[in-house]
Chains A and B, each alone.
Chain A
Amino acid sequence: MLAALGMASVDELFSHLPPDVRLNRPLDIPAGLSEYEIIDYFRGLGDQAANGYASFLGAGVYRHYRPVVIDALATRGEFLTSYTPYQAEISQGVLTTIFEFQTMIAQLTGMELANASMYDGSTAVPEAAMMAIRITGRDKLLVARSLHPEYREVLDTYRRHQDIPTDTIGFDRRSGQIDLADLEAKLNSDVAAVIVQSPNFFGVVDSTRQAAELAHRHGALLVVVFTEAVSLGLLEPTYEADIVAGELQSFAHPPSYGGPFVGVLATKQKYIRQIPGRLVGETVDTEGNRAFCLTLATREQHIRRAKATSNICTNQALIALMATIYMCVFGKQGLRELAEQNLAKAHYLAAQIEKQGAKLAFQGPYFNEFVVAPNGTSAAVVNERALADKIIGGLDLGRFYPELKGHMLVCATEMNRRDEMDRFARAFAP
């Protein structure tokens, strides 16, 4: 390359830079390694970090078994680009998988349609809120405090620059579900949307049906949020919801240091023109064959510019594809069995922990996560003991809820073996 540039040395290439900004010694980094050495080095780092550990940490990110067929199919050359396909003529395969994705999500959430995915669950929530604001012509939001605290932070980022007034709905200290009296007291004709998560951040299946009834009585929409997609295999969807916003990481991807994730929005047919993001529709080609193409794109940013429904002008196609394959592999019955395993394991773990004198904080029904208050010891000590036994413990809720300081959010999935649960429960000994 230097010869092509007519230069004799690398120094000459940079000779135009003033001497005082140039580094006149080698960079302080180790010498180069071979590919074999590099892989060995990173495997070693991986072993130090988390390999071989059991985990009971959930709180919005879940460990589930990923069938090997997911990566085998998702990395095929035909799916090589993760970008949403504009050109229906050459993209029927990808478009078909997105259409299948939308169909399965609509079925699982009890809605009439779903979009082609969002970046993640946390950004799907403000999109649902802004959608409700457009539909109702109102601007106030009522947000459950039991919505994932980090989702609330993302919502606040969107909200504060648009001057959207927001109030929170408390939770019942006995059940862990939303405080319906508090919701009823705060509802009025300014409220565009009530936003409730179920199972909520405490793992408790929330009273979404009652919330829908109250919201609708005041002309507001109900947005139901989920962070644990596996719960959809067992829990009856909230058909009364107007918008469902959720995170599908459980179906698609291992925790992997927090991403990439994949969110989704689902809604009723009558709101189809207000849903942001991509939509794939079914149509026929010039020969009358069933075919798929992007539809309703006229409301998107690349066409409508500043007046677009949203700034999202793409989808999370590759990770959504993984979720699609996952849903197909498990199927209706498989998803249900998987969800039942999660439920059974979490309830087994809770019983073992209670034998150590710890108390469950809430009486509401829970799926695969629950809140527990250690007795005669502390969350920090429990987690330290667990870690020494190669177990990643639960989340100390004091970080997000001052009134729940010392309480732990604990999760069990199908990945947790009985001996791991027994060992973790013993860490709760007074």
Chain B
Amino acid sequence: MYPNNYRYTKEHEWINVEGDTATVGITDHAQDQLGDVVFVELPKVGVALQAMQSFGTVESVKAVSDIYAPVSGEVTAVNEALADTPEQINEDPHGKGWLIRVKLADKKQVESLMTAEQYQEYVAAEKES
């Protein structure tokens, strides 16, 4: 379910690092909690993000949630397909439902994020509390 090569945040975003760039999305747990996603608000390409900065929103039939940058970096691409098919976030959160790509400012920031195993423990603990 949660790819081992991804890292995860406490705000339920995932990040997949490939070289100097990384892809960011929301986790399967996040989409499950939100319910049917109907709209996504994403930043413009070229915007510089700081780690933990809110860079957009995901709107479901139940709520509008902020999404946070797991790491600092410049936005190099946004998933334009989500404008017409936001349901991809529900259907394939860790793949086709990606949100943005960023050029990493500091690769070391990724190391402080949770691994797949740690994230699953975190979600389990959150469910219990």
B94 to chain A, nearest CB (A): 24
B46 to chain A, nearest CB (A): 12
Total A-B Cβ pairs within 8 A? 17
Inside 8 A of B41's CB, which chain A residues have their CB?
273
Question: Roughly how many angstroms separate A298 CA and B59 CA in the complex, as a whole number?
Answer: 8
Which one of B61, B63, B64 has the highest number of Cβ atoms from chain A below 10 Å of its Cβ?
A: B64
Q: Which of B39, B60, B61, B63 contacts A304 (CB 8 A)?
A: B63
Q: Does B62 contact A (CB under 8 A)?
A: yes
Question: Roughly how many angstroms separate A187 CA and B41 CA in the complex, as a whole number?
Answer: 28
| A298-B66 contact in complex given A273-B39, A273-B41, C-beta closer than 8 Å | no
Chain A binding surface, main DSSP class: helix
Contact with B along A202-219 (1 / 0, CB 8 A): 000000000000000000
Inside 8 A of A278's CB, which chain B residues have their CB?
none
Minimal Cβ-Cβ distance residue in A for B62: A298
Q: Does A299 contact B (CB under 8 A)?
A: yes
B90 to chain A, nearest CB (A): 16
Inside 8 A of A273's CB, which chain B residues have their CB?
39, 41, 59
Minimal Cβ-Cβ distance residue in B for A273: B39
| A303-B63 contact in complex given A273-B39, A273-B41, C-beta closer than 8 Å | yes
Minimal Cβ-Cβ distance residue in A for B44: A137
Complex interface residues of chain A between 340 and 385 (CB less than 8 A to chain B) = none
B66 touches A307 (CB 8 A): yes
Contact with B along A271-297 (1 / 0, CB 8 A): 001000000000000000000000000
Question: Roughly how many angstroms separate A299 CA and B60 CA in the complex, as a whole number?
Answer: 11
Question: Roughly how many angstroms separate A130 CA and B53 CA in the complex, as a whole number?
Answer: 21
Complex interface residues of chain B between 74 and 105 (CB less than 8 A to chain A) = none
Inside 8 A of B63's CB, which chain A residues have their CB?
298, 303-304
Inside 8 A of B64's CB, which chain A residues have their CB?
298-299, 303-304, 307
Complex interface residues of chain A between 132 and 180 (CB less than 8 A to chain B) = none
Chain B binding surface, main DSSP class: strand
Complex interface residues of chain B between 8 and 50 (CB less than 8 A to chain A) = 39, 41
Minimal Cβ-Cβ distance residue in A for B61: A298
A410 to chain B, nearest CB (A): 48
Contact with B along A101-128 (1 / 0, CB 8 A): 0000000000000000000000000000
Minimal Cβ-Cβ distance residue in B for A272: B39
Contact with A along B54-68 (1 / 0, CB 8 A): 000001111110100
A300 to chain B, nearest CB (A): 9
Question: Roughly how many angstroms separate A304 CA and B41 CA in the complex, as a whole number?
Answer: 15
Question: Roughly how many angstroms separate A298 CA and B60 CA in the complex, as a whole number?
Answer: 8
Question: Roughly how many angstroms separate A304 CA and B64 CA in the complex, as a whole number?
Answer: 7
A318 to chain B, nearest CB (A): 29
Question: Roughly how many angstroms separate A65 CA and B60 CA in the complex, as a whole number?
Answer: 46
Inside 8 A of B39's CB, which chain A residues have their CB?
273
Inside 8 A of A303's CB, which chain B residues have their CB?
63-64
A297 to chain B, nearest CB (A): 10
B33 to chain A, nearest CB (A): 14
Minimal Cβ-Cβ distance residue in B for A300: B64
Minimal Cβ-Cβ distance residue in B for A274: B41
Inside 8 A of B62's CB, which chain A residues have their CB?
298
Contact with B along A45-64 (1 / 0, CB 8 A): 00000000000000000000
A191 to chain B, nearest CB (A): 18
Which one of A298, A299, A307 has the highest number of Cβ atoms from chain B below 10 Å of its Cβ?
A: A298
Question: Roughly how many angstroms separate A304 CA and B63 CA in the complex, as a whole number?
Answer: 7
B35 to chain A, nearest CB (A): 11
Inside 8 A of A304's CB, which chain B residues have their CB?
63-64
CB<8 Å pairs between A and B, sample of 16 = A273-B39, A273-B41, A273-B59, A298-B59, A298-B60, A298-B61, A298-B62, A298-B63, A298-B64, A299-B59, A303-B63, A303-B64, A304-B63, A304-B64, A307-B64, A307-B66
Q: A298-B59, A303-B63 are in contact. List 5 more A-B contacts (CB 8 A).
A: A273-B59, A299-B59, A299-B64, A304-B63, A304-B64
The 5 closest A-B pairs by CB, nearest first: A298-B64, A304-B64, A298-B63, A299-B64, A298-B59
